[in-house]
Amino acid sequence: QAQVVESGGGLVQPGGSLRLSCAASGFTLTRYLVSWWRQRPGKEREMVARLSVSGDVAIHADSVQGRFTASKDDAKNIVNLQMNNLKPEDTAVYYCYAESSDGYSGNYWGQGTQVTVSS
């Protein structure tokens, strides 16, 4: 079955870095809009980064601008989220979302990966 799976989460100290990966299974990400979302404790799920279908344009939320970088690797069929200078407020479950650009293929949410930033 088609799905996306996030990985790379974990516990990191403030100021540290993590790289999350979103791997597609059962389909290719070539023609999908892929975005990264997070849900912080007690808050609504929010978009933190969004890649164009081609993967050459990335938009990042103001809260992570300059610290997070989303990128797409078509050869490996994955999307990455490099997170630097992590802050405690970055603690959240991070999700990958793939939106079909063809109008008929399905859209897929990943299961989420926990990122905890704490001393």
Which residues are CB-contacts of 74 (< 8 A; sequence separation ≥ 6)? 28, 29, 30, 55
Tens-place pLDDT, residues 8-40: 999 999 999 999 999 999 999 888 999 999 999
Decide the pairing of beta strands 10-12 and 113-117: parallel
Q: What percent of the chain has pLDDT over 90?
A: 83
pLDDT for position 31: 85
Map residue 90 onto helix, strand or coil. Answer: helix
- In this prediction, residues 84-103 reach a mean pLDDT of 95
Which residue, 19, 20, 72, is CA-closest to 50? 72
Residue 53 has pLDDT above 90, yes or no: no
pLDDT for position 42: 96
pLDDT for position 30: 84
